[in-house]
Structure 1
Amino acid sequence: MSSITTHIENNIATLTLNRPEVFNSFNKEMAFLLQAELDACEKNAEVRAIVITGNGKAFCAGQDIQEITDPELNPGFKKILDDHYNPIVTRIRAIEKPIIGAVNGVAAGAGANIALACDIVVASENASFIQAFSKIGLIPDSAGTFFLPRLIGFQKAAALMMLGEKVSASDAEKMGMIYKVFTAEEFTTSVQALAQTLSKMPTKALGLTKRLLNQSMTNDLTAQLALESKLQIESAQSEDYNEGVTAFVEKRKPVFKGK
C-alpha cells in the first residue's frame, strides 16, 4: 500500500499521508512520494485546490524514529532536512494554488510544521499540535522557526518550542495558529466544502495572492507596494477577472475557470 494516496475529484486533489500504523510518521519513501504528488498537482490544470491530510488517528507524528535509529536506514539529519522536509515546505509555498492542511489528529514535530506551512490550516476537534523536538534534544525544523513566530508571536512560539507543550485544536485556533476547528463528525465534509469553495474561485488571483504573502515575509513596504501593483496588472489580464466584472454587472454568480 502506498504511503501517500491521491484522490482527484471536482478539481480538488486530496493527498493523504498513509502510514497509520506509525501515526503517518515520515520515512524517505513517504517524503519523496509527497514531493512527487505535489509536483503532479502543480502541473495538473484540473487541480485547483489541494488538501493534505492523514489517515487514521494522526495527521503526522514527524520523523519515523526507526529510520534514524537504524544504522542501515539512517540517511543522516542533513539529508533528511535537505532532501526530505525542506523540499516539501518549499513546494507547498511555491505552488500557486491554495493548499489546505487538514489536521485530523496529532501533528507533531515536522508533521506540525508541514501543516503550518499550508495556506489554510483547519483541524478536527480531536487534533493537537506539539513542537516535540526539545523532548529528544533537537531543534525545530521544517520551517517551524519561520512560520510559528509569525503566526502566534515570538514569546508564545519560543515557549511552545522550548517546553514542547501540546496545544489542543481549540487553543491553536484561539492563538491564531490555525484558521478553524471542525467537530470530529463534520471534519471530512467541512474540509471538502472549504476545498470546493477554493476550487471554484479565481485560481490565478489566489496564486498571485499567495506569491504576495510569501514576499511580504521579507519585503519592506516600498517593495511590497511595487509588487502589488505589478501583480494587480497581471491579475487584471486574466479571464477570471473579466468573468468576475461581467458577472457583477449582470448581477449573477461568476463562473471562474482558473485562467
Structure 2
Amino acid sequence: MTPATPSDEIRHRFENGVSWITLNRPDAMNALTWDQRERIIALLADASADPATRAVVLTATGKGFCAGADLRSGGGAPATTDRVAGDVARMIRLGAQRLVTAVLDCEKPVIAAVNGTAAGIGAHLALACDLVIAAEPARFIEVFVRRGLVPDGAGAYLLPRLLGPQKAKELMFFGDAVPAAEAARLGLVNKVVPADELEAAAREWAERLAQGPTRALALTKQLVNASLDGDRATALAAEATAQELNMTTADANEGVASFVERRTPKYLGR
C-alpha cells in the first residue's frame, strides 16, 4: 500500500471563491502530524496572497475534527531522551503556535466547520477561526491537563478572550468535554447544526463572505483581533488607519456608489 502523503491527509479544493481545507486522517481522529501542520500553514498563506480566494473553510472527515497533535508520529513533544533546554519551547513556537497564528493572521475570513471532537491543539485550531459552526455531535476538550501538560497552541491566550479568565481556567483545570450546545451557550461557537447540515451551513456562510468586500473584512478582522491587546488610543488609531487604507479599495468605492445609486453592490474583493 502506498503511504498517505500530506496532500492526501489534508485535502484542498477551491469553489466559488472559497478555499476548503479538510483534515483527512479519520482513523486517527485527524490528529495532526508536523507535515500536516506545514500543509495547512502553506494553504492559509496561499489564501491570503490569492485575490481569487475570498474566504476559507477548515473542516475534517470522519467522527473527529482534530484530536490534537499526533504524539505517535512526532507531531508533539520530542522524546524525553537527549532533550536539551530550549527544545520544547522551539518545537511549540515552530509547530502549534505557528499553526494558530496562521489562522489568526490569514487575510481572508476563516470558518471552522467542526464535525466532531476538537481536543487540545484541535480545539485551539477551531477557536482561532473567525467563525465556528459545530455539528451537534461535536465537543471541545482542553485535554492537556489529562496528560499533565500545560496548554499550548495559544490556548491560554484565546480562551480568556472568548470566555473570561474564570471559565477559561475551569475548562483548562478540569479538561472536561464541552458539548456543542454548551459551547454555543458559552460563546465558543457561533452556530450548531445537525451533522448532515454542517457542510451546507459552512458553504452558505463562506460563499456569502466570498461575495463581500474582502479587504474591508481583512481590516476588520485585524482590528477585532488586536482590540483586546492594546489601549483605547491604540485601537482608535488603528481604526482610523484601517479606514484610510480601505477607502483606497475598489470595493469601498463600489459600496458608496451603490448606496447613492440605490442598487445592490457588486464586490470584487479588490
Give the fraction of aligned pairs with identical amino acids, expressed as a percent: 40
Aligned twin of 1:88: 99
Shift of 1:70: 8.7
Contact 1:34 1:88 in 2 (8 A): yes
Distance across 2 between alignment mates of 1:25 and 1:80: 17
Amino acid at match of 1:8: F
Question: Given the alignment of the two structures, is residue 12 of structure 1 paired with residue 18 of structure 2, yes or no?
Answer: yes
Question: Given the alignment of the two structures, is residue 141 of structure 1 paired with residue 147 of structure 2, yes or no?
Answer: no
Aligned twin of 2:165: 154
Question: Given the alignment of the two structures, is residue 34 of structure 1 paired with residue 40 of structure 2, yes or no?
Answer: yes
Distance across 1 between alignment mates of 2:237 and 2:158: 24
Aligned twin of 1:55: 61
Distance across 2 between alignment mates of 1:8 and 1:121: 20
Amino acid at match of 1:38: L
Contact 1:128 1:169 in 2 (8 A): yes
The correspondence of residues 180-195 of structure 1 with structure 2, limited to 5 A, is 180-195=191-206
Contact 2:127 2:158 in 1 (8 A): yes
Distance across 1 between alignment mates of 2:146 and 2:247: 50
Contact 1:17 1:53 in 2 (8 A): yes
Shift of 1:242: 1.1
Distance across 2 between alignment mates of 1:71 and 1:89: 23
Distance across 1 between alignment mates of 2:176 and 2:169: 11
| Moved >6 Å (runs of 4+) | none
Shift of 1:71: 5.2
Distance across 2 between alignment mates of 1:215 and 1:159: 25
Aligned twin of 1:217: 228
Taking structure 1 as the reference length, what is the TM-score of the superposition?
0.95
Shift of 1:185: 2.1
Contact 2:47 2:108 in 1 (8 A): no
- Give 5+ residue unaligned stretches, structure 1: none
1:186 alignment partner, SS class: helix
Shift of 1:39: 1.7
Choose from 249, 252, 268 the match for 1:257. 268
Name the count of aligned residue pairs: 258
Amino acid at match of 1:25: A
Aligned twin of 2:135: 124
1:185 alignment partner, SS class: helix
Contact 1:244 1:254 in 2 (8 A): yes
Deviations 1:65-99 (A, max 9, x none): 21358959x99643431222111111111121101
Distance across 2 between alignment mates of 1:145 and 1:237: 37
Distance across 1 between alignment mates of 2:132 and 2:170: 21
Distance across 2 between alignment mates of 1:116 and 1:109: 11
Taking structure 2 as the reference length, what is the TM-score of the superposition?
0.91
Question: Given the alignment of the two structures, is residue 246 of structure 1 paired with residue 246 of structure 2, yes or no?
Answer: no
Shift of 1:217: 2.4
2:196 alignment partner, SS class: coil
Contact 1:3 1:29 in 2 (8 A): no
